[in-house]
Structure 1
Amino acid sequence: MSGSGSVRRQASAIASPKPPCTIHPSAIISDKAVIVGTHPISIGENVVLHPFAKITSNTGAVRIGKNCVVGDRATVGLSDSPGSYAGTTVELEDGVSVESGSTVQAEKVGAGSTIEANSTLGPGVVIGMFCKITASSRIQSETLPDFTVVYGENARRIDTTTKTRSDVRDLKVKGQLMHIETLKRLVPSNTMKWLS
C-alpha cells in the first residue's frame, strides 16, 4: 500500500515542460500561479498573476497586455478540447481584470474590461473595450460592443457614462494602476520560475 503512494508522489512531482514564455520584468507572478502549455505565452508590463491563477496555452497562444490582473483560481487560455477554436490566440488587452474563479477562453477581451468572479467567457467570444461582465455570467460565441455591461440573467446594457466621458475612463485606468501598485506589495513574485 505504501509503495503505490510513493509512486503517486513521484509521478506528481514530475514537472511538465515549461511553455515558451515572454514575461516583462515588472510583472508579478506568484510562485503558486500555474503556467502550462506548448504555445507561446506573453505577459506584459505590470501584470499581476495571483496565487493559483492559471494560464494555459495547450491549444493556442495567450497574450496578456500591460496592467492586467488575473485573480486566484481564474484561468486564461483555451481548454484542452476547444474543438474548432484550436490554435486560436486568447488575448487580454491592456488594463483587464479577471476576478477570482473566472474562466476566459475568449479570443479577445478589450482594454479596461472587468470580468467579475466566477464568470465564463467561452471560445470565440470577443469583448469590447471597457466592458463589465458581472459575477457568474456565462457568455458563449458572441461579440459584445465596447462599454457593454452584462448583468442579471444575461441582460445587456451600454454604460453610456463611461462611453461618453473620457474622465470616467481615465479614472478607471487610474484605479487599475493603484490596485496593481497595492498588489505589488502583497503578492510575492517568482517570475524566474517561468523563464528558461
Structure 2
Amino acid sequence: MSSSKRASMMPAAPKPPTFLASTLIIADQASLTGTHLITLGSNTVVHPRTKLNSTYASITIGNNCILSERSMIGLQSEATGNENEGVLIENGVVVEVGATVEALSIGEGCLIEINARIGKGAVLGKLCLGMECAG
C-alpha cells in the first residue's frame, strides 16, 4: 500500500538559534524559522500555527505572553534603519488570532486584537490596544 503524500523537493527552512525558557509552552505545530536569535520568556504560551520568522531580524518575547494561533511575529521583509534591532514584545502581551506584529517594540501588558497588523518600526507603550484598521 503506497502513501498518497509526496515528499517535498525543497530543503527544510533554516532552524533559527533559540533561547527558550524552561517553563515555556509551545505547540508542536508552531513554526520558528530564520537565522537570527529567537528568545521566548518563561510562562509564555505559543499556540499551534503561530509563525515566528527571524529571517530579517531577531525576535524577543517576554514572560507571561500569549501568542495565539495563526499570528505572525517578526519582520516579513528586509530591515532598514533601526528595524535591524528586531522585534521586542515585553512581558504580559497577548497577540490574538491572525495578528501580524513587525513592530520595533510592544510594551508591557498590551493587547493586539484579532487580525491586527502592527507594522515595521511601530512602538507601542504599556497597556496599549492594537486594533484592526480598515484599509
Q: Does 1:16 align with 2:49?
A: no
Query: Which residue of the partner structure matches residue 84 of structure 1?
Result: 80
- Structure number with greater Rg is 1
SS at 1:67 equivalent: coil
CA–CA distance in 2 between the matches of 1:83 and 1:49? 24
* 1:89-100 → structure 2 map (5 Å cutoff): 89-100=86-97
Q: Displacement, 1:83?
A: 4.8
CA–CA distance in 1 between the matches of 2:121 and 2:14? 27
CA–CA distance in 1 between the matches of 2:74 and 2:13? 17
Q: TM-score, normalised by structure 1?
A: 0.62
SS at 2:80 equivalent: helix
Root-mean-square deviation (CA), in Å?
A: 1.8
CA–CA distance in 1 between the matches of 2:119 and 2:8? 35
Task: Tell me if structure 1 keeps the 8 A contact 2:56–2:79.
Answer: no
CA–CA distance in 1 between the matches of 2:13 and 2:24? 23
Task: Tell me: CA distance 1:24–1:118, structure 2 relative to 1, closer, same or farther (3 Å).
Answer: same
> 1:129-149 CA distances to partner (integer Å, 9 max, x unpaired)?
001123x23xxxxxxxxxxxx
Letter in 2 for 1:103: T
Q: Does 1:126 align with 2:123?
A: yes
Q: Does 1:48 align with 2:65?
A: no
Letter in 2 for 1:105: E
Query: Which structure 1 residue ranges, 5 or more long, are not aligned?
Result: 138-152, 155-196
Q: Does 1:73 align with 2:70?
A: yes
* 1:97-108 → structure 2 map (5 Å cutoff): 97-108=94-105
The size of the alignment, in residue pairs, is 130
Query: Which residue of the partner structure matches residue 193 of structure 1?
Result: none
Task: Tell me if structure 2 keeps the 8 A contact 1:82–1:123.
Answer: no
Query: Which residue of the partner structure matches residue 34 of structure 2?
Result: 37
SS at 2:109 equivalent: coil
Q: Displacement, 1:26?
A: 0.5
Identity in percent: 37
Q: TM-score, normalised by structure 2?
A: 0.89
Task: Tell me: CA distance 1:30–1:119, structure 2 relative to 1, closer, same or farther (3 Å).
Answer: same
